Amino acid sequence: MSYQRLQSEASRVAVNAIQLFEALEQHRAQARKVKGSMHWKHINGREYLYRAYTGGKNHSLGPRSPETEAIQQAFEAQKTNYHAREQSLKEQLQLHAAYVRANRLNRFPLAGARAIRALQRKEIPFRVIGTNALYAYEARAGVLIEPEHLATADIDVLMDARQGLRIITALAGETLLSVIRASDRSFQPLTQAPYEFRAANAKGYMIDFITQAADPMKMSDFERYLEAEVLKPVGIDSLKWAIASPRFEAVVFDEKGMPLRLSTVDPRAFVLHKWYVSQQPDREPLKRHRDEAQARLVATLLRDELREFSATQAVERAFPHLLRQQASSRLDEYDL
């Protein structure tokens, strides 16, 4: 078998760490309540309470009075309590990381995890695809996939051009390259070409930005924006199927044992996309064989472990009927 089910102790450690991480996520969802600051401002001999927000925005809450003083005191207390609780949760996660490492659950490449967190902090919409998606599937299935299926020194980041405006807004004047450099300053484009979709750090770990192919005669606003990018996502036509498929999320652990929410494509979409790619005559033999092995592996997980993922109309609409029929007939007895 290409994977092993987690032992009871490892499962317990994973569940505890994930619950703690979800508590931190829920806590951070309240961050908007304590963002910015409050200060008093003198105007025409009177003091007014102002709420300052990121980006230079200020909003008056009224002249100084017992009510506005109470508002400021409550805000400062809430802000202090928020940061204290966040620090406490982070310290607990650091303690749990030792148990995660001891049970060999620290699987996700550290360079990739740091880059993903940098993108998440900017609230840029994306999904991780390719081999790294297997970490999400194994985490949800409660198994450990054999290393030969996971070994990779790069990560594919899928950018949906349909969300171009949201991506541009999230970048707020930055570039994709500057965002990932926040996680590792050694990331550089691999060539001197004006548009490059791949960057690598000093240790050779690579990040590919990918989007669905578009009609070159009908450039979207997103693609026009990318004309000014240092890193421009490369278009791959067959990815339109994966993009149309449901989102899949799971909490994985990086090499230091710290949790990471990984967003990828539905495992059924992964199977069919990998199977399709493996059948292309121009695919390199080594990659073709690996694609087929990964398709069979995830098909096995769907059959034996991820049983809650039955066929859905969303996936059926995303993939051509002929492709689904061909894959179903050739993937042995697996029910896709």
Query: Is 240 exposed, middle or buried (CB count within 10 Å of its CB: 0-12, 13-18, 19+)?
Result: middle
> Pairing between strand 198-200 and 46-52?
unpaired
Q: Please provide residue 37's backbone torsions phi and psi, each rounded to the nearest 5 degrees.
A: -155, 170
Q: What is the pLDDT at residue 300?
A: 87
Q: What is the pLDDT at residue 227?
A: 45
Low-confidence ranges of the chain (pLDDT < 50): 194-195, 215-228, 230-235, 314, 333-336
CA angle 174, 254, 258 (to 5 degrees): 90
Query: Is 283 exposed, middle or buried (CB count within 10 Å of its CB: 0-12, 13-18, 19+)?
Result: middle
Q: State how far Cα 149 lies from the chain centre.
A: 20
Say if residues 144 and 134 touch (Cβ distance below 8 Å).
no
CA–CA separation, 241 and 277 (whole Å): 12
Size of the chain in residues: 336
Q: What is the pLDDT at residue 316?
A: 57
Q: Among candidates 208, 230, 191, 56, which has minimal Cα distance to 129?
A: 208
Q: Among candidates 266, 267, 233, which has minimal Cα distance to 162?
A: 233
Residue 189 is encoded by which pair of tokens?
Answer: 């484009």
Say if residues 259 and 16 touch (Cβ distance below 8 Å).
no
Say if residues 129 and 264 touch (Cβ distance below 8 Å).
yes
Q: Among candidates 183, 191, 124, 186, which has minimal Cα distance to 158?
A: 124
Report the helix count and the strand count for the chain, using DSSP H and E.
13, 13
CA–CA separation, 230 and 189 (whole Å): 8
For residue 56, the 8-state DSSP code is S
Cα 38 to Cα 31, 83, 85, distances in angstroms: 15, 16, 21
Residue 330, H or E segment: helix 321-330
Q: What is the pLDDT at residue 226?
A: 46
Q: What is the pLDDT at residue 276?
A: 80
Q: Among candidates 74, 77, 80, 43, which has minimal Cα distance to 58?
A: 43
Say if residues 298 and 274 touch (Cβ distance below 8 Å).
yes
Q: What pTM does this model have?
A: 0.81
CA–CA separation, 101 and 13 (whole Å): 10
For residue 233, the 8-state DSSP code is P
Say if residues 292 and 278 touch (Cβ distance below 8 Å).
yes
| Tokens 């060539």 found at | 191
Q: What is the pLDDT at residue 200?
A: 93
